Homo-oligomer: A and B are copies of this chain.
Amino acid sequence: MAENKIPYKIYLEENEIPNQWYNVRADMKNKPAPLLNPGTLKPMTAEELAPVFCEELVAQELNETDAYIDIPEEIQNFYKMYRPSPLIRAYFLEKALGTPAKIYYKFEGNNTSGSHKLNSAIAQAYYAKKQGLKGVTTETGAGQWGTALSMACSYFDLDCKVYMVKVSYEQKPFRREVMRTYGASVTPSPSMDTAIGRKILEQHPGTTGSLGCAISEAVEVATTNEGYRYVLGSVLNQVLLHQSVIGLEAKAALDKYGITPDIIIGCAGGGSNLGGLISPFMGEKLRGEKDYRIIAVEPASCPSFTRGKFAYDFCDTGMVCPLAKMYTLGSGFIPSANHAGGLRYHGMSSTLSQLYHDGFMEATSVEQTSVFEAAEQFARVEGILPAPESSHAIRVAIDEALKCKETGEEKTILFGLTGTGYFDMVAYEKYNDGVMSDYIPTDEDLKPGFDAIPKFPGNEF
């Protein structure tokens, strides 16, 4: 391998970290459908969004025209703490697979939050601080987003209130402690802090909570406390915008060596990582400059792209948030209890949903035992213990590389390695002990979710 000119890790220089985010919507002919006010069924205005979200973030959310948006210097400075992230040539994995394919991955786990979530957390915290707010509220499930936001708020000296799904709060005490170390308050949800929490606890005294309930609590706290706003780590257009830094860096690193990927692969829950990784490549594809095969990978147990409906639906279980047009399993959908890790959101980014609907990308779903098999194989040869979410992309990258082995094609594969699995060892333990199971919902299982999607003219599916 010594003769190969491409290093194991391609690092950009510090001054090559992007100073603008890329807004893929500017290059889309069919724009993502706007958020709708659930009462009026009319597009949400900036004024209507302002009580929930920070002003500048609302502007970014609604901005469909500017292709590039400057990254404020304070955010650029923070990015230097952990960016540029390495683009890694998977020489070890290629050798282990015996494939002629060339595999690259953009690794976003080399920061304390352990994932790419920090890219948007620091931006959202910055705009909250700039607006003079006291703090922000959010929900977290697996905990990556809550950790990232805690770090970002600590940096800007903002209060950070995290509502953590109770079952995760109890099962992931280490995640909780990282957030506390960064000064965040972490409350198990449902809690007695909010009207919605008290109501849910009264109705279901033994509940261990859900992401939907935690969102409702966080939104309530943000809108009823002076100087607070709610922030979200995925799904939204603004989040994809911030996450474009992943794709921009990856593309710049590849361009340095004259490499053009044939296939780009990312895991997809709400779409934050996938949308960020593919954005500049998708831009070229949308402008007709280049073609790439782009694959979204989702869990078979939460198959919004591959089995969901493309329709307007609520973003939260409590049905208090605006309606978004997206591939959705219905806002009441909860993945089977045996599903490990994240990627458990019922819907999908509106932007990615539109791109998928228009045929600019593919989607596939994989079962979790095969995901952990890929994770372990990857860890053993590449030396990085991947997060379960990231391992969905690894699974498909390996499968594509093995296809190349059969055909002899030397395809170049790029995938996103979103984070590390240090806090997911309970799932690894299940896999190591051979007690992890797979679950694919039947059509019957999916029906109640679909039935709950609101019906109104134009929202047929």
Partner-B contacts on A (CB < 8 A): 1-2, 7-9, 11, 13-14, 73, 77-78, 80-82, 92, 110-112, 114, 151, 154-155, 173-174, 177-178, 180-183, 376, 379-385, 420, 422-423, 425-426, 428-429, 432
Contact = CB atoms under 8 A, between A and B. Distances in A.
Contacts of A114: 422
A349 B82 CA distance: 34
A112 B181 contact: no
Nearest to A175: B425
23 contacts: A2-B73, A2-B77, A9-B14, A78-B383, A81-B92, A111-B383, A111-B384, A112-B383, A112-B385, A151-B383, A155-B380, A155-B381, A155-B383, A173-B429, A174-B174, A174-B425, A174-B426, A178-B385, A178-B422, A180-B429, A181-B380, A181-B428, A182-B379
A107 to B, nearest CB: 10
Contacts of A425: 173-174, 177-178
Given A14-B7, A80-B9, A81-B383, A420 B178 contact: no
A183 B380 CA distance: 8
Nearest to A14: B7
A260 to B, nearest CB: 22
Nearest to A78: B383
A384 B180 CA distance: 14
Nearest to A8: B80
Nearest to A82: B383
Contacts of A379: 112, 181-182
Contacts of A382: 81
Nearest to A430: B177
Given A2-B73, A151-B383, A380-B182, A177 B432 contact: yes
A432 B184 CA distance: 11
Nearest to A76: B2
A171 B425 CA distance: 13
B14 A181 contact: no
A376 B181 contact: yes
A341 to B, nearest CB: 14
A367 to B, nearest CB: 19
A108 to B, nearest CB: 13
Nearest to A433: B180
B112 A110 contact: no
Given A110-B110, A181-B379, 17 more contacts: A2-B73, A2-B77, A7-B80, A9-B14, A112-B384, A112-B385, A151-B383, A155-B380, A155-B383, A173-B425, A177-B428, A178-B425, A178-B428, A181-B376, A181-B385, A181-B428, A182-B379
Most chain-B Cβ atoms within 10 A of its Cβ — which of A9, A181, A379, A429?
A: A181
Contacts of A112: 379, 383-385, 420
Nearest to A107: B110
Given A8-B14, A81-B8, A81-B92, A380 B154 contact: yes
A13 B429 CA distance: 37
Across the A-B interface, give the 5 residue pairs with the lowest CB-CB distance, nearest first: A174-B425, A177-B425, A7-B14, A8-B80, A422-B422
B177 A429 contact: yes
